[in-house]
């Protein structure tokens, strides 16, 4: 498995800002040309209720999943069609084969209450770099205080907008960019063998 990012400990990382961490990984791939950007995707995981369990997370306790409102990982599908997941919040290897990640971190939806079934919005890296924007307002409480310290670099914005994070988190196929999959469709399509 060829590594397309710096080692985990050298990546730009801010806890609780997974969407920006993945944006920075996509930016690195594009700038360093570590692989064709067409092989790389930002993957938003959420659902209508914004309650998605993810196992093997650093913030998890023992064998229990962390229930996020959403989570974002980078997916690399190489020319042989083999998928690797880059998740800066996991205790699994970095990168991790998609088959291992889907088995260990996602686990099947069957056996979970429907409220916890995951959907995934898969966005090509270049599209993500050109369209994503966040003013980080979702990380402030009612009094305007940070819930978690923000990244040290300026907010990510485009010429069109300063904030469209909700369009990426939404699993409504009529909203946002990229393609929305059920978990089983995602695993089947991207080859979690």
Number of helical H runs and strand E runs in the chain: 5, 8
Instruction: Examine the residue annotation and report whether 71 is marked as an active-site residue of this protein.
Output: yes
Q: Check residue 144 and give its pLDDT.
A: 95
Catalytic residue selected from 76, 87, 89, 96: 87
Pick the catalytic residue from 26, 35, 71, 76. 71
Q: Yes or no: is domain 8-190 CATH 3.30.390.30?
A: no
The whole-angstrom separation of Cα 45 and Cα 101 is: 13
Strands (DSSP E) found in the chain: 40-46, 52-54, 66-68, 71-77, 83-86, 96-97, 119-124, 179-182
Paired tokens of 50: 């914004």
Torsion of CA 58, 168, 123, 65, to 10 degrees: 20
Q: What is the pLDDT of residue 192?
A: 47
pLDDT at 111: 87
Residue 13: its pLDDT value, please?
97
Q: How far apart are CA 95 and CA 109, in angstroms?
A: 23
Note if 87 is an active site residue: yes
Q: What does the pLDDT read at residue 193?
A: 45
- 75 with 83: CB under 8 angstroms? yes
Q: What confidence score (pLDDT) does residue 77 get?
A: 96
- Residue 124's pLDDT is 98
User: Quick one: pLDDT at residue 1?
Assistant: 80
Within the chain, residue ranges assigned H as helices are 18-32, 98-101, 125-131, 165-169, 183-190
Q: Does the active-site annotation cover 138?
A: no
- All residue ranges of the chain with pLDDT < 70 are 192-193
List beta partners, residue 75.
41, 85
CB 129 within 8 Å of CB 26:
yes
């Amino acid at each position: 498995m060829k590594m397309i990012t710096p080692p985990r400990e050298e990546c730009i990382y801010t806890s609780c800002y997974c969407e920006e961490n993945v944006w920075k990984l996509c930016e690195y791939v594009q700038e360093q040309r570590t692989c064709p950007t067409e092989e790389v995707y930002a993957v938003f995981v959420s659902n209508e209720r914004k309650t998605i369990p993810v196992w093997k997370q650093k913030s998890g306790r023992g064998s229990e999943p962390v229930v996020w409102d959403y989570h974002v990982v980078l997916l690399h599908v190489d020319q042989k069609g083999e998928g690797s997941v880059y998740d800066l919040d996991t205790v699994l290897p970095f990168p991790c084969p998609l088959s291992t990640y889907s088995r260990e971190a996602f686990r099947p939806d069957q056996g979970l209450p429907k409220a916890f079934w995951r959907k995934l919005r898969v966005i090509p890296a270049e599209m993500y770099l050109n369209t994503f924007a966040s003013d980080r307002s979702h990380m402030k409480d009612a009094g305007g205080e940070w819930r978690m310290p923000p990244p040290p670099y300026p907010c990510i914005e485009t010429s069109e907008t300063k904030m469209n994070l909700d369009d990426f988190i939404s699993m409504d196929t009529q909203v946002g960019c990229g393609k929305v999959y059920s978990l089983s469709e995602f695993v089947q399509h991207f080859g979690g063998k």
